[in-house]
Amino acid sequence: MKFNLITPHKIIFGQNSLSQLTEEITIFGQKAFIVTGTSAIKRSGILSQVSDKLKDCGIEAVLFSDVKPEPSVDMAEKARDVFKKNKCDFVIGLGGGSVLDVAKSAAALANESGKMIEYQSGREIKIPGVPFIAIPTTSGTGSEATYNSVLTDTLKKAKRSIRAPEMMAKLVIIDPALTISVPPNITAYTGIDTLCHLIEAYVSIESNPITDALCIQGIESVNQGLHGAFINGSDIEAREQMALASLLGGMVLANAGLGAVHGLAASIGGLYEIPHGLVCGVLLSHVMRYNVDVVKEKFACIARIFNPSLNEESADTAAMQAADLVDNLLKEINIPTCPCDAGIYRDNIPAIVAGVSSSVKYNPKKARAEELTKILEDAMTV
């Protein structure tokens, strides 16, 4: 039994945990670079909360608020340029997964001279960057607990990662109250992305006893929280469960890898302007059905979390219901189960399969081009 485990240096979790920012932040320097996204962060008052806390500590802040969903390499390059121009000491990512990915890439490459696209293509990061602090405001991507940054190469129409252990956050503050203003559709997309991380990492060929335990807890948290958070965004207990699930999802994907869902989703994300979580949602149960025969015990465990009455059934019987139970959850949060209903069509299947990412190599069952093509074709006949 051999495995490595890489996690953020420090995690502060719980309601009102943002209040602890002032106790933790001064060790990182006197000039912060805040990366955030749309005006929603400003409207919610979250940005003001963070800015006020920095002022209380005597820390100057430079704001970069240009990040859009599914960010490009060029966007991350722009953020790094602004960081360098202002000679900041550290980076705070305040927002969803797109914001955190841009923030961590700017931090990790702050002292490198090469173009960011070069590092996405495999150039090694040799010069240490600056500290990255993650304050997520959505519950889904788990980017607060990973050491990769997913960015779109707009020329190649492909989503790829810049990956390095140095990208791991020095400090993560997860306050479920910051997610209350997230609208239902984004709650659904990010939530199902979390579930996908947890399921794929659980059955990954790189899973280990620690990631398995985290996956089980995370899936239980999704079962307890996602529908409630979708129905009533102010349900703080449901939001807390999803914030925990997101964190655990990030931790396990960073250490166990993912699978065919994310391998395909990375390719689809480069070809279509469709939210990543929605893509994962429409693919998840179809890939589960493809994998079920090689991971029956684990799929049985998943099924029993969503339907405890299956504790009385055999592993074979329970495992065969896992994908259907995920489909039931998708329907409850208004996510379709057919890719066509999300705007993904047969004509692009060859291009999707050709652009699949390396996540496929962790799938528990071999998923070559012909198998991936069959998964997509079967999914589109639902």
* Residue 43 Cα to chain centre, angstroms: 24
How many residues in the chain? 382
- Residues 163 and 217 grouped into a single domain: no
Cα–Cα dist 215/358, whole Å = 21
Domain boundary among 178, 203, 228: 178
Q: For the chain, which residues score pLDDT lower than 70?
A: 39, 382
pLDDT at position 69? 83
Q: Which residues lie closer than 8 Å to 309 by C-beta, 6 or more apart?
A: none
Cα–Cα dist 184/232, whole Å = 8
CB count, 10 Å around CB of 229?
31
- Residues 189 and 294 grouped into a single domain: yes
Asked whether residue 2 is assigned to any structural domain, the reply reads no
User: How many domains in the chain?
Assistant: 2
Domain boundary among 178, 212, 245: 178
Cα dihedral angle (189, 191, 195, 198), rounded to 10 degrees? Answer: 120
pLDDT at position 43? 73
Give the domain range for residue 130: 11-178
pLDDT at position 285? 96
- Residues 155 and 236 grouped into a single domain: no
Cα dihedral angle (126, 156, 147, 208), rounded to 10 degrees? Answer: -120
- Residues 266 and 363 grouped into a single domain: yes
- Residues 200 and 104 grouped into a single domain: no
pLDDT tens digits, 254-283:
999 999 999 999 999 888 889 999 999 999
Cα–Cα dist 306/284, whole Å = 15
pLDDT at position 156? 79
- Residues 346 and 237 grouped into a single domain: yes
pLDDT at position 382? 64
- Residues 235 and 169 grouped into a single domain: no
Domain boundary among 178, 213, 240: 178
Phi/psi for 243 (5° steps) reads -65, -40
- Residues 145 and 231 grouped into a single domain: no
Report the relative pairing of strands 158-163 and 148-153 from DSSP bridges. Answer: antiparallel
- Residues 304 and 291 grouped into a single domain: yes
DSSP alpha helix (H) spans, the chain: 21-24, 39-44, 46-56, 73-86, 97-108, 116-120, 184-203, 209-231, 236-256, 260-271, 276-291, 296-306, 315-319, 322-332, 349-354, 369-379
Give 367's DSSP letter: -
**Cα dist. 194→20, 129, 382 in Å?**
26, 28, 24
**Collapsing DSSP states into helix, strand and coil, what is residue 230?**
helix
pLDDT tens digits, 176-213:
999 998 999 999 999 999 999 999 999 999 999 999 99
Phi/psi for 258 (5° steps) reads -120, -125
- Residues 154 and 205 grouped into a single domain: no
Instruction: Name the nearest CA neighbour of 307 among 295, 322, 292.
Output: 322
Residue 146 maps to which CATH number? 3.40.50.1970
Instruction: Yes or no: say if 126 and 82 are a contact pair by the CB < 8 Å rule.
Output: no
- ∠ at Cα 106 (105, 110), nearest 5°? 120
**Collapsing DSSP states into helix, strand and coil, what is residue 272?**
coil
